[in-house]
């Protein structure tokens, strides 16, 4: 299993009138976690797109356990649960500075050939970069 953590500080624009992070902004946290995890492995969405590979989100499930608040430094733990084939599933856990779990989520993304708009297998080099984490 591959696990990567990154940080994000809740800014004022992220919050609602109660100074809680607005629920719709959590999907952006998942994207931040996912992009930074891929970057850690040596890949970027831009690289994929320049090579004709798109990765739309097929499914999103999110569970809110406690609010993130204005100016808190959050830790976003992103986990790839299994080696990808034509889909890749990510798990996200968002923690506050006290290491309290605030949110848990899952997304499923599909690898899509940009020219045909059809599903495709995950790039072999990407799977190879993930493989040692599943040994």
Average pLDDT of 30-40?
97
CATH code for the domain in which residue 60 is found: 3.10.129.10
pLDDT digits (tens, 9 = 90+) for 95-116: 999 999 999 999 999 999 999 9
Q: What is the mean pLDDT of residues 21-43?
A: 96
pTM: 0.94
* Euclidean distance between CA atoms 77 and 58, whole angstroms: 20
pLDDT tens digits for range 52-106: 999 999 999 999 999 999 999 999 999 999 999 999 999 999 999 999 999 999 9
Number of other residues whose CB lies within 10 A of the CB of residue 11: 11
49 lies in which domain range?
Answer: 2-134
Kindly tell me if the per-residue pLDDT of 135 is higher than 90: no
Q: Which two tokens stand for residue 72?
A: 């808190």
């Amino acid at each position: 299993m591959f696990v990567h953590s990154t940080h994000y500080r809740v800014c004022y624009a992220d919050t609602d009138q109660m100074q809680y992070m607005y629920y719709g902004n959590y999907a952006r946290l998942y994207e931040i976690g996912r992009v930074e995890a891929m970057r850690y492995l040596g890949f970027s969405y831009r690289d994929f797109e320049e090579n004709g590979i798109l990765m739309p989100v097929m499914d999103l499930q999110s569970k809110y356990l406690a609010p993130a608040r204005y100016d808190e430094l959050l830790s976003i733990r992103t986990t790839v649960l299994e080696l990808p084939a034509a889909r890749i599933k990510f798990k996200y856990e968002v923690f506050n500075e006290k290491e309290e779990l605030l949110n848990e989520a899952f997304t499923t993304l599909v690898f899509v050939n940009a020219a045909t708009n059809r599903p495709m297998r995950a790039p072999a080099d990407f799977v190879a970069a993930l493989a040692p984490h599943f040994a």
